[in-house]
Amino acid sequence: MDIHKPKPIHSWRELLKEVGTIVLGVCIALGAEQAVEYFHWRHEVELGRKAIAGEIATHNEWYRFRIAIAPCIDRRMDEAQAILLALENKERPNGFTAFHSHGAGAPLSASEWESERASQALVHFPRQELALMSQYYAQIPTFRDWMGEEAATWSKMSGLRNLPAGLTASDMLRLRGDLDRARSIEFLILGNAQRNLRFAGQLGISGGAPEHGQVEAFCSKGD
């Protein structure tokens, strides 16, 4: 086997030529690697964007449903207020048009968002898009807390459907506190549902309107 000895370098020009060739080879290799990585993450971002958009669209359906039934929930709270007032005045109260002790919650999920975070795809999203998504998803845990508290509050007030005998002043005070809290939660849920719908709109994500039958069923029936 012949072994070729490296050619001796006789001038600075030859040295620079050799070094330049090496540097150029390294730059080409690095550029190719970066190009592969760029196209890889662009593909991952596109997949992640579609997955997150689908999850947000599902949330938006519930937000719109919640806004659509707001007049029914307001009516239910006004009816509870009238029952309490009648009891305080020793009068016979009217009942509820419809009553749902479970509230109007929904299993808002952040699984797609967390999946993309774990895969590190989120860091490759455009900054403004990522900021809007972050603001949208930051509210999800709070919505869950509100829905849980709302369901618990209306469960406590479920006794107003079949009034127990001998309600005390402390019972009335507790029921009024529960009703006030239900109003506060409803205000928070509605305001933040509209806020998240605005964020979704800025992201170009819609979500279907609630079915008329679904809204009608909630407003006209109870548990």
| 182-208 confidence digits (pLDDT tens) | 999 999 999 999 999 999 999 999 877
The gap from C-alpha 13 to its chain's centroid, in whole angstroms, comes to: 64
Helices (H), 69-168: 70-88, 111-118, 127-138, 140-156
Averaged pLDDT, 124-153:
93
- Using CB atoms within 10 Å of the CB of residue 46, give its burial: 0 to 12 exposed, 13 to 18 middle, 19+ buried: exposed
* Residue 32 pLDDT greater than 70, yes or no: no
Higher-confidence residue of 107 and 123: namely 123
| pLDDT of amino acid 1 | 47
The owner of tokens 């000895």 is 5
User: pLDDT-based confidence at 222, cuts 50/70/90?
Assistant: confident
Average pLDDT for the chain: 84
Averaged pLDDT, 150-162:
90
d(CA 144, CA 156): 19
* Residue 149 pLDDT greater than 50, yes or no: yes
| pLDDT of amino acid 92 | 87
Averaged pLDDT, 4-30:
58
The owner of tokens 């009024």 is 176
**Helix, strand, coil tally for the chain in percent (to 5):** 75, 0, 25
Quote the pTM value: 0.79
User: pLDDT-based confidence at 174, cuts 50/70/90?
Assistant: very high
* Residue 6 pLDDT greater than 60, yes or no: no
d(CA 32, CA 204): 34
Averaged pLDDT, 48-64:
92
User: pLDDT-based confidence at 167, cuts 50/70/90?
Assistant: confident
